[in-house]
Chain A
Amino acid sequence: MEKLLAELKAKIIEILNLPDVSPADVREDDQLVGGPLGIDSIDVLEMVIMIEKDYGVVINNRELGAQVFATLRTLADHIQKNAPEPVR
């Protein structure tokens, strides 16, 4: 789980091009969307594509998305539970 969290932090900073944000600034239990990082609905969609591409986990509706992207930890949990191959 810790490895996955660290990996997600790095990926989010990279794909969302978050300026002046280091992995330490992304806190596991902070509100992810609309929180301190300034992540919005477009960023969520970009993350959806990344999660499908890199972990094989499809998040294709809004209601599910709202739960999954609540925090970084809920996202990591969802990936771990649903990935076709084990993710640590």
Chain B
Amino acid sequence: MTDTPVFISSIGMVSALGVGRDQSAASLWQEDRRFAPLTLFPAGPDGPLPVAEFRDLPAVADPPRTHQLARLAADQAMAACSTPPDAIVLGCTTGGMPATETTQEEGIDDSAAYRHHGVGTVADDLARRYRCTGPVVTLSTACASGATAIAVAAAMIRSGRARRVLAGGVDALCRLTYFGFKSLQVIDPDGARPLDRDRRGMTLGEGAAMLLLADRPRTETDLQLLGAGLSCDAYHPSTPHPEGAGALAAMQAALVDAGLSPGQIDYINLHGTGTPDNDRAEAMAVNICFNGSPPPLSSTKGVTGHTLGAAGALEAGIAALAIQSGRVPSNVGIRNVDPALALSPVTSATPLPVRRVLSNSFGFGGNNAALVIGKAAKKRPTARKTADMPLIVTGYACLSGGGRTTDTLAALSAHESCRGCLADQTVCRDLDPRSIRRLKRLSKMTLAMAVELKRKAAEADLPGVVSLGTGWGALSETADFITRLMESAYQHPSPMAFIGSVHNAPAGQVALLLGARGANLTASGGDYSFEQALLSADLVAGNPSEPILVLGADEAHAALTPLFAPSEVSSEGLADGGGALLLRRAPVAAGTCVALAVYRSHRQVDAIGETVADLGGAENLNFRFGAILAGLPAAHRTMARDQLNRFLKISGFDGPVIDFRRLTGEFATATAIAAVAGVHWVATDTVGAPGVGQNPQPLNGKGVLVLGLGPTITATTICPP
């Protein structure tokens, strides 16, 4: 990792505050709280609760509301920029859910109507809009998503992988979150009053904020993303650690990353949702971090509402407004400060020179993120940790219709099918029945792999960082939640299903199991979700003493898979599973190295030629790799087949090429199983049989290349020491 500063070239934002910098600033300084009863969809028999809707969106169904909000914010950020960004990193929790819910209500079962469902489709839409052909990553870490995305984007710039990254967060109001949070009894019927003695919860909002980050300033006054810190509570799926231990760790990590002491922070924008638990835990953490005398602070969620996946990015925008205007925003909504919190929030917008702001975002799964935004330091105070060592594999596990790790690898090595859905009993055989009583298939599959690794791994190899890629998230919980909501005419949503339905629930469960308190990431980008998880983990995990667990998993669901991913339904039925790699940073000679070498759009000119070049050119590629595991997703098989043929032609590669999805079955993160097979083969210096009835072949000390093909082209290299 280099010491490159990360500049904020421009910021776009949209929320109940308005569209753009000027409107948002005006509403913020006027403390214009526009909470009003929900109008977007029927609120059920109890009547509408107050929300912070964005009222000025055109009423079109396509694209969904989330995509529209993201475009509005991103268009502002990209207005002064004529060249495409090198990468896009977006935080989002609901994706096309607003449209999916309406479509479900109307009883439509045409899969085309659900094509925008995936959380990753929002970032893909932006990539097409601004012709971005580099990495497009979606992070779904609940209410920490926006800040997590900015942290990963900043790491991308510092690592030199990108020079300009469009990063931020978005979420639109939808039934899932409205009724979900209502069922948790964390919505204040009188509107959110963060830090108030009588606070009863949050007010849901919606919006988007996008930052164009760059490795060099556009103007002399460009602010910087000075630091970022990520952590996980590893305490409870939805309740924060009572003393705010994870929140404190994230704040401290952000300050260390920025090279700043707590005394150098001029304002804290709190997560401050207004729920009794969050505000109490956060107040404790802030008081510890700032030794009982924090700088001026406030939560702005009493004016914006809680915009969930957008919040961290929107509040980064608010931090910038505070610095640029020399004013700290008010903790709108508060009447009586809760004396138990021992904090003194700013109760009216106050002129004050602000140079550096700490902004907090915390979410379900105990996922925490803190950002430091500020004016450029004259001189960088400290050199950052270096992370130029590769990722070395210390353990692996997988699961498929063919069984657990041993059976799955045996099938793949013999070129036999392992597709299908493994029986629940086999998935759960090593799991404590009490600890999984509330969990459904995706979390169980993910935990099964984690438990297997925990048993085999040395204590020192157990992970701090956990990064999960999932194309579709927890489909069982999502289906259960929507079904019960609709069947009960919006009266009896399931809190348990809601908590389980968030994309990052499985990674949070893994953290709980392993006591993993480092960055906890969940990436979701269709067929490339595993690669996104690997890339994101590689970027944020710089500490050699903190091992990393990267997983990819997806569950098949009888009702939802045919709607969301019709290409994954074959004549042999559905398939699901996943793979997990336990990694640590170590010198190349220490073991099998895994790296994501390529992640690009097929729209890039000569995308395949560039991919071969990135892998060192034809000669080098043939020297390094003895086999290719090629992923040709069914939805794009013709395109992928052409790409593979071109790759083989340009590279002249003549070793075994294994079309792995024919064996694993079709599901978004099948690549994770392929990566595990590749690691296993490199470790045993034998490659699986290239065809039915053929024998495994020696790898002769070479590595394995896992190619992801289709609209995105990825290459994961697996090389021996």
Which residues in A have some Cβ–Cβ distance to B below 8 Å?
16-20, 38, 40-43, 45-46, 48-49, 52-53, 60-62, 65
What is the bound-complex CA distance between A62 and B201, given in angstroms? Answer: 11
Q: Which of B437, B492, B495 contacts A17 (CB 8 A)?
A: B437
Contact check, A42 vs B238: say whether CB atoms are below 8 A apart.
Answer: yes
Q: Beyond A42-B495, A61-B185, A62-B276, is A20–B438 a contact (Cβ under 8 Å)?
A: no
User: Contacts of B324 on A, CB cut-off 8 Å?
Assistant: none
Residues of the A chain whose Cβ atoms lie less than 8 Å from the Cβ of B183: 45, 49
Chain A positions within 8 Å of B493 at CB level: 49
Q: Is B406 an interface residue, CB under 8 A from the partner?
A: no
- Are A52 and B492 also in contact (CB < 8 A) when A41-B239, A45-B183, A61-B200 are? yes
In order of increasing CB-CB distance, the 5 nearest A-B pairs are A19-B433, A45-B495, A17-B437, A53-B492, A46-B496
Closest beta carbon of chain B to A29's beta carbon, Å: 22
Q: What chain A residues lie within 8 Å of B236 (beta carbons)?
A: 40
Contact with A along B437-460 (1 / 0, CB 8 A): 110000000000000000000000
| Complex Cα spacing A48 to B573, Å | 38
Q: How far is the CA of A46 from the CA of B493 in the complex (A)?
A: 9
Whether B237 sits at the interface, judged by CB under 8 Å, is yes
Q: Are A45 and B185 CB-contacts (below 8 A) given A16-B437, A19-B433, A19-B437?
A: yes
Complex: A17 Cα to B200 Cα, angstroms: 29
Q: Which residue of A lies closest to B182 (CB)?
A: A60
| Chain B nearest Cβ from A8, distance in angstroms | 17
Nearest CB of A to B607, in Å: 46
Complex Cα spacing A42 to B667, Å: 31
CA distance A64 to B491 in the complex (A): 20
| CB pair B433 A45 closer than 8 Å | no
A-B contact pairs, 7 of them (CB 8 A): A42-B238, A42-B495, A42-B499, A45-B495, A49-B493, A61-B200, A65-B185
| Cβ–Cβ contact A42 & B488, under 8 A | no
Q: Does B434 contact A (CB under 8 A)?
A: yes
Q: Which residues of A contact B491 (CB under 8 A)?
A: 52-53
Q: Give the docked Cα–Cα distance between A52 and B495 (Å).
A: 14
Q: Is B494 in the interface zone, CB < 8 Å from A?
A: yes
CB-defined interface of B197-225 with A at 8 Å, one 1/0 digit per residue? 00010000000000000000000000000
CA–CA, A49 to B44, complex, Å?
14
Which secondary structure dominates chain B's binding surface?
loop
Q: Which of A17, A20, A53, A60 contacts B488 (CB 8 A)?
A: A53
Contact indicator B494/A49 (Cβ below 8 Å): yes
Tell me which residues across on chain A come within 8 A of B499, comparing CB atoms.
42
Is B648 at the interface (CB under 8 A from chain A)? no
A19 partner, pick from B184, B276, B434, beta carbons under 8 A: B434
Give CA–CA (A45, B185) in the complex, Å: 8
- Give how many B residues have a beta carbon under 8 Å from the other chain's beta carbons: 21
A59 to chain B, nearest CB (A): 9
* The one of B185, B438, B492, B496 that contacts A60, using a Cβ cutoff of 8 Å: B185
Q: Collect the chain A residues with CB atoms within 8 Å of residue B434's CB.
A: 18-20, 38
Identity of the chain B residue whose Cβ is nearest the Cβ of A65 in the assembled complex: B185
When the two chains form the complex, which single residue of B200, B239, B492 contacts A49, counting CB atoms closer than 8 Å? B492
Determine whether the beta carbon of B437 is less than 8 Å from that of A46.
no
What CA separation (Å) do A48 and B492 show in the bound complex? 10
- On whether the beta carbons of B184 and A45 are closer than 8 Å, the reply is yes
Given pairs A42-B495, A60-B185, 7 additional interface contacts (CB within 8 A): A16-B437, A20-B433, A42-B496, A43-B496, A45-B496, A52-B492, A53-B492
Bound-complex Cα distance A43 to B236 (A)? 13
Asked if A49 contacts B495 (CB within 8 A), the reply is yes
Bound Cα distance A41, B237 (Å)? 11
Chain B's closest residue to A52 (CB) is: B492
Across the interface, which residues of A come within 8 angstroms of B238, CB to CB? Answer: 42
Q: Give A57 Cβ to nearest chain B Cβ, in Å.
A: 13
Q: Please measure, in the bound complex, the distance between the C-alpha atom of A23 and the C-alpha atom of B433, giving whole angstroms.
A: 18
Nearest chain A CB to B665 CB, angstrom units: 29
Q: Give chain B nearest CB distance to A30 CB in angstroms.
A: 17
A43 to B237, CA, bound (A): 12
- Residues on A with beta carbons closer than 8 Å to the beta carbon of B239: 41
Cβ B185 vs Cβ A42 within 8 A: no
A33 to B494, CA, bound (A): 18
The digit string for B109-128, where 1 denotes a CB below 8 A from any CB of A, is 00000000000000000000
Q: Is the CB of B438 within 8 A of A17?
A: yes
Residue of A nearest to B484 (CB): A49
Question: What A residues does B276 contact at CB under 8 A?
Answer: 62
Given contacts A19-B433, A20-B433, A60-B185, contact A42 B492 (CB under 8 A): no
A42 and B185 CA atoms in complex are apart in Å by 10
Residues of A contacting B200 with CB < 8 Å?
61
Which residues of the partner chain B approach A20 to less than 8 Å between Cβ atoms?
433-434
Cβ < 8 Å to A, chain B residues 235-249 = 236-239
Q: Mark B234-265, 1 if CB is under 8 A from A, else 0.
A: 00111100000000000000000000000000
Bound-state Cα–Cα, A18 to B495, Å: 16
Once the chains are docked, how many angstroms separate the CA of A17 from the CA of B435? 11
Residue of A16, A20, A45, A60 with most chain B CB atoms under a 10 A cut-off: A45
Residue of A17, A43, A53 contacting most chain B CB atoms (<10 Å): A17
Closest chain B CB from A32 CB (angstroms): 16
B7 → chain A closest CB, angstroms = 43
CB distance from B435 to the nearest CB of A (A): 9
CA distance A43 to B495 in the complex (A): 8
With contact pairs A49-B493, A49-B495, A60-B185 given, residues A42 and B437 touching in the complex (Cβ less than 8 Å): no
Task: Give complex CA distance A39, B185 in Å.
Answer: 17
The digit string for B345-384, where 1 denotes a CB below 8 A from any CB of A, is 0000000000000000000000000000000000000000
Closest B residue by C-beta to A54: B492
Chain B residues near A46: list those with CB within 8 A: 494-496
User: Could you mark each residue 480-504 of chain B with 1 if its beta carbon is under 8 Å from any beta carbon of chain A, else 0?
Assistant: 0000000010011111100100000
Given contacts A17-B438, A20-B433, A62-B276, contact A42 B494 (CB under 8 A): no
Task: Mark contacts of B175-190 with chain A using CB atoms, 8 A cut-off: 1 yes-contact digit, 0 otherwise.
Answer: 0000000011100000
Nearest-neighbor residue (CB-CB) of A20 within chain B: B433
* A49 cross-chain contacts in B, Cβ below 8 A: 183, 492-495
- In the bound complex, residues from chain B placing their C-beta under 8 Å from that of A60 are 185
Min CB distance A31 to B, Å, is 17
CA distance A67 to B491 in the complex (A): 24
